[in-house]
Chain A
Amino acid sequence: MTLAAPSKLGSGLVDASIDVTGARRTYELPDLSHLVALHDVDLSIESGTFVSVIGPSGCGKSTLLRIIGGLEQPDAGSVTVCGVSPKEAAAAKALGFVPQTPALLPWLTVLKNVTLPTKVNKRRNRTPLPDMEDLLRKAGLGDAMHKLPLQLSGGMQQRAAIVRAFGLRPDVMLMDEPFSALDEFTREALQEQLLDLWEETRSTVVFVTHSVSEAVRLSDRVVVMAPRPGRIVDVIDVDLPRPRPAALLESPEFHHYEGAVRDRLREAFEHGSRAGAAKGDQ
């Protein structure tokens, strides 16, 4: 089975890039003060790159992801995904979304769960339909195919959720801390599988995480964000060869990038809390 990216995107859209310009999102809190989740954020992501967004809680990384996915509207600024609005990209089935919890339907077997996306918004399905059984087997879920989600471990459930999203052959994959609830060992195994899947589809990935090593291992670029107000402080290119096996995690180059990301995070955090104290919460 080949999953090589076609010259034209499966969704019929031109180019799987993402452009965010001047995005602002403010939440009103119960005490009527405002929390600036995103403060004039600019970000452009080229087609086919794997980008991680990292930052402390409350820096707006999940908000950014939801805005790209059309799950939330920015108060100001514009977002285009594959050259169109997020809503239109969703309508073209160009998006895949993996939330923090597996979000599987407990009454469907794993196989039925991962094929359900082909039963909604059918007109825009890819042809031919992907072989989900094969994809599940590749993800190590061959024996679990006909089991219910409740009968699986958390790691296997999250794997099924990832297969569900990749099964759509999305041009853009949005992942919101998908591994944050898993133990270290499962996490690393799943990172490897995610990279394997991605090597085949080469879709554009936006991966929100709060783990530095995860960000460095997975990504071509790491976007570092800071809170109060939520903003991007740096974009670090990770120039490590692919594929990136587990052994890479111990190499000096890897540590170099980890250190760089960690430094930027610390700076941003210290600066952010000082600015927050001086200005008050806007």
Chain B
Amino acid sequence: MTVIEERAAGLGRGVVAATTRDVRAHRRRRRLAFLRPTYWAPFAVMLVVVAAGWHLGAERMPYLLPPLSDVFGVLRDEPGYFVENSWVTLREALIGLGIGFAVAFLLAILISEVPVARRAIMPIAVVLNVTPLVAIAPALVVAFGFGAAPKLILTSLICFFPILINTAVGLRSVPKQVLQVFQTMDASRWEVLRHIRIPGSLPYVFAALQIVFPLSVIGAVVAELSAAGSSAGLGTTIQVATSMNRLSMVWAAIFVLALMGSLLLLFATVVERKVLHWHESKQSDS
């Protein structure tokens, strides 16, 4: 290394140190951003408006909307009941999602590696996707009874299509020149899949997961609603409470479901941010 180069390298290090410092300060500011009123005020105002509207509505039409205080009262009086039933629904949703994900992911690999398989699988997948799965639910209950089976099947069916399509597109999204580089090294199909295609598909897979996590809860609840004799789950809670005209109970279950969906979405987003830190869409610091 010449003197000039060494000096240049030294200068370079100084620049790097300075930018790291800037980046840290920037990150700290970002982390505290939620404290600023501009960040939380719009949502807080909206929350108050909705609550006030609800309150007015509930006062005029008590047979349509229960007062908010009643809804939270139900939640406060029987927290164990809600935790238990939420857990049943959540478990159905997550296991169904897991099954749907595994099957869709493997089929996506098959589709992307074997063109003939694409022609066999895609038409069925599309038909499955356009059929309203809510309509299949009662038939599934007739076929598989009141146990967990129809719920898991419906949930995995709902999750199946977005994962299949996104993963298949993701596996094919590798730039041609990257493939050419590895072709001149005689990389095997498996090596290309493992080192290039699967990691490259992750942004697409996570986009699908963001859609599918909340969908899985919908699948589980719809299946529970259709299986009138189910022993547990928030869908069952809603149905039983409706038949007994316990409106505050119905709304309490709906609130819990909304919370569950939001938390699942949050989970998917946080994991995505961790895993895809390299992706352009997550490069917020530069």
Chain A, residues 143-179, CB within 8 Å of chain B (1/0): the string is: 1000010110000000000001100100000100000
Among residues of B, the one whose C-beta sits closest to the C-beta of A87 is B186
With contacts A143-B13, A150-B280, A151-B286 taken as known, whether A103 is within 8 angstroms of B181 at the C-beta atoms is yes
Q: Is the CB of B185 within 8 A of A168?
A: yes
* Whole-angstrom distance between the Cβ of B249 and the nearest chain A Cβ: 48
Chain B, residues 233-273, CB within 8 Å of chain A (1/0): the string is: 00000000000000000000000000000000000000000
Q: Is A120's CB within 8 Å of the partner chain B?
A: yes
Interface size on A, residues (CB 8 A): 34
Q: Is B56's CB within 8 Å of the partner chain A?
A: no
10 nearest A-B residue pairs (beta carbon): A120-B187, A99-B177, A97-B184, A103-B177, A107-B278, A120-B191, A91-B186, A90-B186, A103-B178, A95-B184
Among residues of A, the one whose C-beta sits closest to the C-beta of B199 is A107
- The contact size tier of chain B is 20 to 34
* Whole-angstrom distance between the Cβ of B103 and the nearest chain A Cβ: 25
Q: Is the CB of A120 within 8 A of B12?
A: no
Q: Is A260's CB within 8 Å of the partner chain B?
A: no
Q: Which of A81-129 contact B (CB under 8 A)?
A: 87, 90-91, 93, 95-101, 103, 105-107, 116-117, 119-121, 124
Q: Is the CB of B184 within 8 A of A150?
A: no
Q: Is the CB of A100 within 8 A of B177?
A: yes
Q: For residue B178, which residues in chain A have a CB less than 8 angstroms away from its CB?
A: 103, 105
Among residues of A, the one whose C-beta sits closest to the C-beta of B13 is A143
Q: Is the CB of B278 within 8 A of A97?
A: no
Among residues of B, the one whose C-beta sits closest to the C-beta of A107 is B278
Q: What are 14 sample pairs from A and B whose C-beta atoms fall under 8 A apart?
A: A69-B180, A90-B186, A93-B186, A97-B180, A103-B180, A105-B200, A106-B280, A107-B200, A116-B195, A120-B192, A121-B191, A124-B186, A142-B9, A164-B181
CA distance in complex: A254, B286 (Å): 42
CA distance in complex: A87, B186 (Å): 8
Q: Is the CB of B13 within 8 A of A90?
A: no
Q: Is B182's CB within 8 Å of the partner chain A?
A: yes
CA distance in complex: A168, B192 (Å): 17
Q: For residue A174, which residues in chain B have a CB less than 8 angstroms away from its CB?
A: 184
CA distance in complex: A95, B181 (Å): 10
Q: For residue A100, which residues in chain B have a CB less than 8 angstroms away from its CB?
A: 177
CA distance in complex: A90, B278 (Å): 30
Q: Is the CB of B12 within 8 A of A143?
A: yes
* Whole-angstrom distance between the Cβ of A120 and the nearest chain B Cβ: 4
CA distance in complex: A71, B182 (Å): 10
* Whole-angstrom distance between the Cβ of A113 and the nearest chain B Cβ: 10
* Whole-angstrom distance between the Cβ of B195 and the nearest chain A Cβ: 6
Q: Is A60's CB within 8 Å of the partner chain B?
A: no
Q: Is the CB of A90 within 8 A of B183?
A: yes
Q: Is A70's CB within 8 Å of the partner chain B?
A: yes
* Whole-angstrom distance between the Cβ of A187 and the nearest chain B Cβ: 19
Q: For residue A106, which residues in chain B have a CB less than 8 angstroms away from its CB?
A: 278-280
Q: For residue B187, which residues in chain A have a CB less than 8 angstroms away from its CB?
A: 120-121
Of B180, B192, B283, most buried by chain A (CB within 10 Å of CB) is B180
Partner of A101, one of B13, B16, B177, B192: B177
Q: For residue A66, which residues in chain B have a CB less than 8 angstroms away from its CB?
A: 180
CA distance in complex: A93, B199 (Å): 24
Q: Is B80's CB within 8 Å of the partner chain A?
A: no
Q: Is B196's CB within 8 Å of the partner chain A?
A: yes
If A107-B278, A120-B186, A120-B195 are given as contacts, then 19 extra A-B residue pairs at C-beta distance below 8 Å, sorted by A number, are A69-B180, A69-B184, A71-B184, A90-B183, A90-B184, A96-B184, A97-B184, A100-B177, A101-B175, A103-B177, A103-B180, A103-B181, A106-B278, A107-B199, A117-B182, A117-B185, A120-B182, A168-B185, A174-B184
Q: Is the CB of A99 within 8 A of B181?
A: yes
Q: For residue B177, which residues in chain A have a CB less than 8 angstroms away from its CB?
A: 99-101, 103
Q: Is B188's CB within 8 Å of the partner chain A?
A: yes
Q: Is the CB of B181 within 8 A of A97?
A: yes
Q: Is the CB of B181 within 8 A of A119?
A: no
Chain B, residues 1-42, CB within 8 Å of chain A (1/0): the string is: 000000001001100100000000000000000000000000
With contacts A99-B181, A150-B280, A150-B283 taken as known, whether A105 is within 8 angstroms of B199 at the C-beta atoms is yes
Chain B, residues 192-210, CB within 8 Å of chain A (1/0): the string is: 1001100110100000000
Q: For residue A117, which residues in chain B have a CB less than 8 angstroms away from its CB?
A: 182, 185
* Whole-angstrom distance between the Cβ of B286 and the nearest chain A Cβ: 7
Among residues of A, the one whose C-beta sits closest to the C-beta of B8 is A140
With contacts A103-B177, A143-B12, A151-B286 taken as known, whether A121 is within 8 angstroms of B186 at the C-beta atoms is yes
Partner of B185, one of A90, A99, A107: A90
Q: Is the CB of A120 within 8 A of B185?
A: yes
Q: Is the CB of A121 within 8 A of B185?
A: yes
Q: For residue A148, which residues in chain B have a CB less than 8 angstroms away from its CB?
A: 278
Of A98, A105, A151, most buried by chain B (CB within 10 Å of CB) is A105
* Whole-angstrom distance between the Cβ of B6 and the nearest chain A Cβ: 12
Q: For residue B286, which residues in chain A have a CB less than 8 angstroms away from its CB?
A: 151
CA distance in complex: A119, B196 (Å): 12
Partner of B180, one of A71, A121, A143: A71
